[in-house]
Amino acid sequence: MSITGYVPRADFEAYVAAADVCVNLRHPTAGETSASLLRLLGAGRPTLVSRTGAFAELPPHVAIQIDTDAHEGDLMLAVLRLLAEQPALAAAIGDHARAYVAEQHSLDGAALGYVRFLARLYGWPAVQRIRSAPLWELTSAAPAAPPAQPVGITERRRRSAAADPSPALPLVADVARALAEVGITDGDRLVLPRVARYIAEVQPATPAAPAAETMPEDGTTQT
């Protein structure tokens, strides 16, 4: 037997790929969700877990639960012998485990679960993701550029200011990206006003631009 301790992610995945059966016991538990267990199940490995905490909530066909009592060692040995003698049973449990993780533990599903929990907690309307692409990926065709026209000093400065991004834009873009990832859409009139007020509170005011001189249409300088 070889005890490696913590290993890099690539080594961990290599060990999992080489394993026929995995054991992920956790007792006592603080109620956490085990990332290592999800990786084992997602790899389609039949896995033994402690019947405690969040592990006890796993369906019986997804992970094999072992009681944390005086017979824990004997039961684990019996289950390991059974899986070694019946490889088809081990493969079936692994297939169920992989399907369970794919269905119940996707990033989109987790994000939607969070926002629905918050909606129930704060009394928001029912939230449902209806946008298939994030806000920052939805772009429309740019209109054709108008013919170039002579412009005065005021107009040139106005265009220069428009081309210079405001300090608020990075914050707005980050917030828009986060909202889109959890399924908030442009039509949400409950969440978006609150987000706008938050941005206004944390974003420092942009200093006013200096007054610009004007130029009459005849091209003479006005004083």
Give the residue ranges of DSSP H helices in the chain: 9-18, 35-42, 72-85, 87-104, 107-122, 153-163, 168-181, 191-202
Structure tokens at 184: 């908030």
Q: Where are the domains of the chain?
A: 9-105, 110-137+152-202
**Using one digit for the tens of pLDDT, what is the confidence trace for 64-105?**
999 999 999 999 999 999 999 999 999 999 999 999 999 988
Nearest in space to 90 (alpha carbons), one of 40, 38, 21: 21
**Using one digit for the tens of pLDDT, what is the confidence trace for 201-219?**
766 555 554 544 444 445 4
Q: What angle do CA 20, 21, 23 make, to 5 degrees?
A: 150
pTM over 0.75: no
CATH architecture of 9-105: 3-Layer(aba) Sandwich (3.40)
Question: Which residue numbers in the chain have pLDDT < 70?
Answer: 126-171, 181-183, 185-190, 202-223
Nearest in space to 41 (alpha carbons), one of 109, 108, 107, 94: 94
